[in-house]
Amino acid sequence: MLKAITNIMSRVGRGTRDASPSPTASRVPHGGGTRGGRRVLVAKFDSAQTTPDNRKHWANADGLSPNAAVNPEVRRILRNRARYEVANNSYAKGIVLTLANDTIGTGPRLQMLTEDAEANARIEDAFEQWSRAVDLAGKLRTMRLARAESGEAFALLVSNPAIGSPVSLDLKLIEADQVCTPLLRRGRSDEVDGIVLDQWGNPSAYRVLKRHPGDSGLLRAPIDDLTAYDTYAASAVVHYFRADRPGQLRGIPDITPALPLFAQLRRYTLATIAAAETAANFAAVIYTDAPPNGEADPLEPMDEVELEQRLATVLPGGWKLGQVHAEQPTTTFGEFKREILNEIARCLNMPFNVAAGNSSGYNYASGRLDHQMYFKSLRVDQHHLQLAVLDRILTAWLNEAVLVEGLLPQSMRQRGVLLPTHAWFWDGVEHVDPAKEATAQATRLANHTTTLAAEFARQGRDWEQELRQRAKELVLMDELGLTPAPQTTAAPAGNAPAPQEDDTDGNEDSDPHRSEGPTRAQASVA
C-alpha cells in the first residue's frame, strides 16, 4: 500500500505524461522551470502568440518608451504628412477647422469669483480688453489646429509694447519644429528634444531655435544659423499637447491614426474618377458574338472611327455597337466614403455628420445621441485648455497688471499671490429645437433641479451680468409704458405628461428634456 501511494505522488509531482495538454497552458521544457520537484504551467493568451498568419500584422509592435516611440524623426514625419493631408484634403481641412471652431468658438470669457464684486468687474473688463488686443481667441484656435495636425503647440509669454492695452503681455506662437535639442547638445540624459528636465522630471527650460528648420533662407545661411537657439525658462513657455502615455513629453498629431485612411480615401476617389474617364474615352465599341473565323465581315482590330452627331449608320455584317460602363469602383463609392469618413472621425470623437458636414441620413434622436459624446469630448478639451493654457496666461497677466497704476483695485495689487478663484465661460451650442429646450429649461427651474447660474453657464454667459441687464431692460420698459410678455409657468413634472420629441422620421427621443452638451436656452429670465 505504501509503495502504491508513493507511485501516485510521484506521478502527480512529475505530471501525468498521457494527459492531454490544456489549450490555455503550455509546459515548461524538461530541465527548467521546476518548483519543488513539480513542473510550472505558464498561462498563454491567443493575442500573445506569433503565428504565420499574424506575423506581418504585429511586425511593427515594439516596447519602446513613450519618448523613444515619439522620437524627433518620427514626429517630423508625422507632422509633415499630417500638414500635407490637411492642406490638400478638403475633408481633413474641414475636420480640423470644425474641431478648432467648436472647441474655442469666439474665445473663453473670464469670471472672477472673489468676494469683492467691484474688483471682479474691473479685472474681467481689463482682461477682456487685453484679450481683444492680442486676439486671444484667434491664437487659441491656431493652437488647437496645431495640436490636431502637428501634435502640439508652443507659445512664448513675451512683452509687446505695440499692443493696444495697458498690459504689454503677448503670446508669441511658435511651431513644434523650432523646439528641439541643438545638434551640439544631443545625447544628454536631462533633456528630451528641447525640453530640459529638473531632478524631479519636470520641465525647467525649453530650447527654441532662432529660425525655423524649414525656412528656405537657411539654405544660404551660415552654419551658425542652423544651430543658433535661445533658452527660455519653463514659466515663460506654454506647451499644449495631449499625453497619451505616462511620462510622454512631446505630442503627435491628433489625426495620426487617420492618416492612412485619408490616403485611401483620396486614392479611391482618384480610382473612381479614372474609371469614369476611361469609360468616357470610348464613345462606343464594335463587337461580335460570332466565333473565330465565323461569318462576319473582316475589320481591323483597335481601328478608330470618328462619329458625327445625329448620324444614322449601318454596321458591318455580324457586328454590334456597344459602350463601356464604369461599373467598378463607382457602384460602391458612396458607401465606402461614408464608412471611411466614420472611421476617420472616430479618433477625434467626432460624429460622422459633423465630419462629413452632412446630416441627411440622421433623424432628430440619433443626431442628439451622437452629439452627446462629441460635446463631452469638447468639454474635456476645454478643461485641458483651462489648466494648461488659460490659467498660465491669467497668472502672467495678473503679474503684469499689478504693475500698471490704477488698472486693478488695491486689494489685488500684490505680487506673488495665489491665482484668485475664477471660472471660464465658453460659447454654448444652439439647440436644434429651441422651443422644446426652453420648455425643458423652464421645467428644470420650476422643479429646482437646476439654477440660473448653471443654465446661463450652458450658454457661456455670466448669470449676474445677464440679470443686471434684464433688470435695466425692465426699468426702461416700465418708463416707456411697455408691458413685458407674460411668463408661462411650467406644470410640475408629476401633473403633466412629458412632452414627446418627434424627429423627422417620426421617431421619438427617449430624453426630450436634457442634452449632455451645452445648450442655448431661448426663454427669457425676468
Q: Which of 113, 134, 133 is nearest to 123 (CA)?
A: 113
Instruction: Identify whether the C-beta of residue 161 lies closer than 8 Å to the C-beta of residue 134.
Output: no
Task: Say if residue 370's pLDDT is above 90.
Answer: no
3-state secondary structure 182-215: CHHHCCCCCEECCEEECCCCCEEEEEEECCCCCC
- For residue 154, how far is the Cα from the chain centroid? 18
Task: Say if residue 97's pLDDT is above 70.
Answer: yes
Q: Which of 457, 456, 446, 431 is nearest to 487 (CA)?
A: 446
For every residue of 1-68, DSSP letters joined together read -HHHHHHHHHHHHH--TTSPPPTTEEEPPTTSSEETTEEPEEE--GGG---TTTTTTTTT-----HHH
User: Can you tell me which residue has the cell 498629431?
Assistant: 253
For position 32, what pLDDT does the model report?
46
For position 36, what pLDDT does the model report?
62
Buried b (16+ CB within 10 A) or exposed e, 213-232: eeeeeeeeeeeeeeeebeeb
Q: Which of residues 453 and 208 earns the better pLDDT score? A: 208
- CB-based burial label for 343 (10 Å; 0-12, 13-18, 19+): middle
Q: Which of residues 7 and 279 earns the better pLDDT score? A: 279
Q: What percentage of the chain has pLDDT greater than the value 90? A: 40
Instruction: Identify whether the C-beta of residue 440 lies closer than 8 Å to the C-beta of residue 512.
Output: yes
What pLDDT, in 10s, does the model give residues 473-522?
Answer: 888 888 888 887 666 554 444 444 444 444 444 444 434 333 344 433 33
The answer to which of 4-13, 395-404, 423-432 has the lowest mean pLDDT is 4-13
For position 371, what pLDDT does the model report?
86
What pLDDT, in 10s, does the model give residues 321-335?
Answer: 776 665 666 668 888
Task: Say if residue 198's pLDDT is above 70.
Answer: yes
Model confidence at 47, in pLDDT bands (50, 70, 90)?
confident
Instruction: Identify whether the C-beta of residue 136 lies closer than 8 Å to the C-beta of residue 165.
Output: no
DSSP state of 115: S
Task: Say if residue 213's pLDDT is above 80.
Answer: yes
Rounded mean pLDDT, 367-392: 92
Q: Which of 205, 145, 208, 196 is nearest to 172 (CA)?
A: 208
Q: Omega into 329 within 30° of 0, i.e. cis?
A: yes
Model confidence at 186, in pLDDT bands (50, 70, 90)?
low
What pLDDT, in 10s, does the model give residues 109-162?
Answer: 998 988 888 888 899 999 999 999 999 999 999 999 999 999 999 999 999 999
Domain ranges of the chain: 69-255+348-427, 268-345, 435-526
Task: Say if residue 414's pLDDT is above 80.
Answer: no
Q: Which of 180, 95, 63 is nearest to 352 (CA)?
A: 95
Please, what is the average pLDDT of the chain?
A: 79
β-partners of residue 316 are: none
- Cβ count near 363 (within 10 Å): 16
What pLDDT, in 10s, does the model give residues 246-291?
Answer: 999 999 999 999 999 999 999 888 888 887 777 776 666 666 667 6
Q: Which of residues 44 and 323 earns the better pLDDT score? A: 44
Q: In Å, what is the CA distance from 383 to each residue of 100, 104, 360?
A: 14, 11, 32
β-partners of residue 27 are: 41
Rounded mean pLDDT, 467-474: 85
Helix (H) or strand (E) holding 111: strand 109-112
For 277, phi then psi, to 5°, come to: -65, -40
Give the C-alpha separation, 476 to 481, whole Å. Answer: 9
Within 13 A of 52's CA, how many CA atoms are on the CB side? 0
Model confidence at 25, in pLDDT bands (50, 70, 90)?
very low
Listed ranges 130-139, 352-361, 459-468; the one with the highest mean pLDDT: 130-139
- Cβ count near 157 (within 10 Å): 21
Give the C-alpha separation, 341 to 98, whole Å. Answer: 14
Rounded mean pLDDT, 371-378: 90
The answer to which of 126-140, 165-179, 218-232, 340-354 has the lowest mean pLDDT is 218-232
The answer to which of 37-51, 85-99, 189-203 has the lowest mean pLDDT is 37-51
- For residue 143, how far is the Cα from the chain centroid? 12
